[in-house]
A and B are shown apart, each in its own frame.
Chain A
Amino acid sequence: MNKLSNCWMTLLLLCAADFAIAQSTPMQVVTRTVEKTLPYRSGSEVNIEGEKAEIVVETWDRNEVKIVLELVAKHPDRAVAERDVKSIKFSIDQHGDMIYFRNYISPDEGQPKPESTLKAIYTVTLPDECPLYLKNYFGLANVSNLSRFLRLRTEFSNVFLQNLSGDIGLTTRFGDLNAQGLSGTVSIDARRSDITLHDISGDFDIRSTYGIIKLFTDESLVNLNIEAEKSDVYFFDPKPGIYGYTLTAHYGNISVPNDLKFNFLENSSATKRWKFSPTKEMATISIKISFGDIVIRNP
């Protein structure tokens, strides 16, 4: 009986899979992969400018910068995909200490506009101390383990950061920012982007418009300055009482743990200005918002 039911189940699954494939269109995927390794000298910096690109940046212990760039075109007709993949142009250049990686879409002369779905995938590996300038439009950026300098500017791209330290500047528009383990001097300028930061320490300066900001700390040494408009700010820490707070909300609400005795410097429906100074201040949190809420909570 058991064997019979197993057979039926297998048949049923095969039919379901067959039905699913029958509903789908096969897409021919043509991938051109470009690889290059460049010498790295102390003082070198890497610039990446991606368009419709997924950019992954990792680190290693070698004095080299390696790029693996995949240029992908998808179309039901393989000949069209093969033609269109050539419209993704790229450049890999080194001039002195400057290393440039770039891609853009431009059909060859006399060729029609691409009909395929196009994208570029960068995997860049470099020394952790190498300064990185990264720009991307339409895609994603995933950067980990840099220790010195990062400037990142993205639009319509989600950003994932892990274990970064040093001087970090992030500008993002229409794309969410998720980070784990940021430390150093961090500046974030976000518009229409949700920001979620875990395990942070150092000096943070965050400006946000139309976004939800969620910060998770764990008794961290963090000096935080947030100015946000039409945004909600959530600050989670297991011991929220160890920080000093200056919270200002114009046309918004403030919610804090009951055991923290705040001074209400101003508390009208239009403006709330609350302050809290702990007996032993570990760090300061300054949040100023308009048209949004501030929530301080023990998670």
Chain B
Amino acid sequence: MELHEHNKDRLRDALRELPSYEPPDDLWQPIQRELEEGESRPTLERAIGKLPEYEPPERVWISLQDSLQGQSLRSRKLRRWYPAAAAALLVGVIFTFWKQGQSHSDDYQVTTSYSVEFVDQDLLAPDWEEDEAAFALVEEWCAQTPLLCSNPDLQLLQRELQELTSAKETLVAALDQYGNDPDLIGQLAEIELERTSLLKQMLERMI
């Protein structure tokens, strides 16, 4: 923009001589938080949404084009720096995203509380492996005498049993990882009931 001022040189000098101050670092953080999460954010977004859009006049594009053509010779020399510049830019973008994630992750409100519950340990006693011998026995019979288990019905039951046994193993592993949780033990009990029912059906067909 052109300055319409009679003593513009003096004015420029005076402006240049004005002292400059940096605000303290801790000023920016509350402003950023207010912009990102504060109550004024929806108002701000609405206001941004309402801002008018303008097309730049034709002469701006022409002037841009001219200045770019003028730089074409210099840009050829710069081309070999493009990969390095692109890599630096990429690192910058990744760092910015990482910083964004960090900044959102850093300001949690965390509180710790304590209480006491009474739990009947007898109910949580791990007794789910006690009858595995019976299941192993049926598998052993099928392995030793394949004809005994050749019946398609029996094979279907066997496959179903294998799926449930696999689910049981998943739950036992979960109990090991998350502790003796009553909900997990409840699910395990349901699976054990189904497995027992399947075992009985298999035995009926084998005998």
Contacts and interface: CB of A to CB of B under 8 A. Distances in A.
Q: Interface residue tally of chain A, by bracket? A: 35 or more
Contacts of A91: 105
B115 A117 contact: no
Contact of A35 (B108, B167, B180): B108
Contact of A37 (B37, B105, B113, B184): B37
A28 B120 contact: no
Interface in A1-32: 20-21, 23-32
A23 B107 CA distance: 44
Given A30-B114, A38-B37, A95-B97, A156 B105 contact: no
A63 interface: yes
A210 B191 CA distance: 12
Interface string B114-152: 111111111000000000000000000000000000000
Contacts of B177: 52, 105, 114
Interface SS, A side: strand
Contact of A156 (B37, B111, B160, B174): B174
B174 to A, nearest CB: 5
Contacts of A210: 160
B178 A33 contact: no
A77 interface: no
A115 interface: yes
Interface string B161-192: 00100010011001001111101100100010
B41 interface: yes
B187 A27 contact: no
Given A24-B119, A95-B100, A156-B174, A118 B112 contact: no
B110 A34 contact: yes
Contacts of B117: 26-27, 29, 74
B185 to A, nearest CB: 11
Contacts, number: 109
A39 B41 contact: yes
Contact of B179 (A21, A24, A115, A174): A115
B48 to A, nearest CB: 11
B109 A36 contact: yes
B45 A41 contact: yes
B200 interface: no
A78 B184 contact: no
B116 A27 contact: yes
A92 B41 contact: no
Given A28-B114, A33-B113, A38-B37, A116 B121 contact: no
A31 to B, nearest CB: 5
B177 to A, nearest CB: 6
Contacts of A38: 37, 104
Contact of A29 (B45, B116, B183): B116
B112 A24 contact: no
A93 interface: yes
A36 B163 CA distance: 41
Interface string B53-79: 000000000000000000000000000
Interface in A31-88: 31-39, 41, 52, 63, 74-75, 78, 85
B104 A94 contact: yes
A115 B116 CA distance: 17
A262 interface: no
A119 interface: yes
Contacts of A95: 97, 100-101
Given A34-B109, A39-B36, A27 B184 contact: no
A32 B118 contact: no
B42 interface: yes
A214 interface: no
Contact of A33 (B110, B163, B167): B110
B179 A27 contact: no
A138 interface: yes
Given A30-B112, A156-B167, 12 more contacts: A20-B118, A24-B121, A25-B119, A27-B117, A31-B113, A31-B114, A31-B115, A39-B37, A93-B105, A117-B181, A139-B183, A192-B163
17 contacts: A26-B116, A27-B117, A27-B118, A29-B114, A29-B115, A31-B114, A31-B115, A33-B111, A33-B112, A38-B104, A75-B179, A94-B100, A94-B101, A94-B104, A117-B178, A119-B178, A140-B183
Interchain residue pairs A-B with the least CB separation, the first 8: A117-B179, A24-B118, A35-B109, A52-B178, A29-B115, A27-B117, A118-B178, A31-B113
